[in-house]
């Protein structure tokens, strides 16, 4: 539906169109393929593993830098900024998961690898699902 026709339609028609849009695929599937919402494919284990491994490596890198700075007794501004960045990202992620007000949905709820967007409903990607 083009924007002009959408703007001139009734609120009920707009709501029906938006509901149908959210139930449909996030992207149009390529020619010769169909959307499969029941089994979208991909590997959630790989997605979670990559995020977990990256988090561990980042935390170890920060810990090693802070330990070396403590041995040298030379803390600088960039060390404080590095630590505050790591802490603020960790706190944000925890608060973000507790809050239902804002959702980035795909990375927070469905970390997966090799998962096609045309096999996922738009409502799960746009953060509009509860």
pTM: 0.53
Place of tokens 């699902």: 129
The answer to whether 118 touches 27, Cβ cutoff 8 Å, is: yes
Of residues 33 and 87, the one with the higher pLDDT is 87
Mean per-residue pLDDT, 91-103: 61
**Euclidean distance between CA atoms 18 and 71, whole angstroms:** 59
Q: pLDDT-based confidence at 67, cuts 50/70/90? A: very high
Mean per-residue pLDDT, 74-89: 89
Mean per-residue pLDDT, 120-125: 72
Collapse the DSSP code of 124 into the 3-class scheme (helix H, G, I; strand E, B; otherwise coil) and give the result.
helix
Handedness of CA 43, 49, 51, 52 (dihedral sign): positive
Helices 77-98 and 44-72, interaxial angle, to 10°? Answer: 150
Question: pLDDT per residue over 9-66, tens digit each?
Answer: 899 998 999 888 888 887 777 788 777 777 766 667 777 788 789 889 988 999 999 9
């Amino acid at each position: 539906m083009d924007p002009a026709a959408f703007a001139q339609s009734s609120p009920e028609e707009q709501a029906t169109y938006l509901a149908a849009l959210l139930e449909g695929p996030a992207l149009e599937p390529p020619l010769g393929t169909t959307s499969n919402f029941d089994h979208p494919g991909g590997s959630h284990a790989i997605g979670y593993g990559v995020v977990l491994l990256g988090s561990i490596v980042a935390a170890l890198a920060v810990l090693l830098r802070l330990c070396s700075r403590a041995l040298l007794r030379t803390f600088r501004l960039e060390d404080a900024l590095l630590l505050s960045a790591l802490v603020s990202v960790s706190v944000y992620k925890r608060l973000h998961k507790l809050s239902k007000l804002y959702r980035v949905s795909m990375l927070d709820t469905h970390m997966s690898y090799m998962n096609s967007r045309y096999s996922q409903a738009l409502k799960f990607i746009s953060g509009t699902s509860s």
